[in-house]
Amino acid sequence: MADNATHSYISSFFLVGIPGLQAFHCWIGIPVCLLFALALLGNSVIIITIKIEPSLHQPMYFFLCMLAVNDMALVSSTAPKMLGIFWLDAHKFDFSTCLAQMYFIHTFCIIESALLVAMAFDRYVAICIPLRYTTILTTPMVTKMGLACVIRATFMVLPCPLLIKRLPYYTKYVINHAYCEHMAVVKLASANTLINRAYGISVALSVMVLDLGLIATSYFKILQAVFRLSSQNARSKALGTCAAHVCTLLVFYTPALFSFLTHRIGKKVPPSIHIIFASLYLLVPPTVNPLVYGVKTKQIRDRVVSLFLSNKILSGN
Confidence of residue 263 (pLDDT cuts 50, 70, 90): low
Give pLDDT tens digits for 217-247: 999 999 998 888 878 887 888 888 788 888 8
> Average pLDDT over the chain, rounded to whole?
88
Give pLDDT tens digits for 167-216: 888 888 899 899 998 988 998 998 889 999 999 989 988 999 999 999 99
Q: Alpha helix (H) ranges present in the chain?
A: 25-52, 59-76, 79-88, 95-128, 133-136, 139-157, 159-165, 182-186, 194-227, 232-240, 243-264, 271-296, 298-316
Compute φ and ψ for 162, nearest 5 degrees: -65, -40
DSSP three-state, residue 94: strand
What is the C-alpha to C-alpha distance for residues 284 and 281, in angstroms, rounded to an integer?
6
Give pLDDT tens digits for 117-169: 999 999 999 999 989 999 999 999 999 999 999 999 999 999 999 999 988 88
User: Which residue type occupies 90?
Assistant: A
Query: Which whole number is the average pLDDT over 81-90?
Result: 93
Strands 92-94 and 174-175: unpaired
Q: What percent of the chain has pLDDT over 90?
A: 55
Per-residue pLDDT for 8 more than 60? no
pLDDT of residue 231: 80
Angle at Cα 41 formed by Cα 289 and Cα 77, nearest 5°?
Answer: 75
Q: pTM value?
A: 0.90
DSSP three-state, residue 15: strand
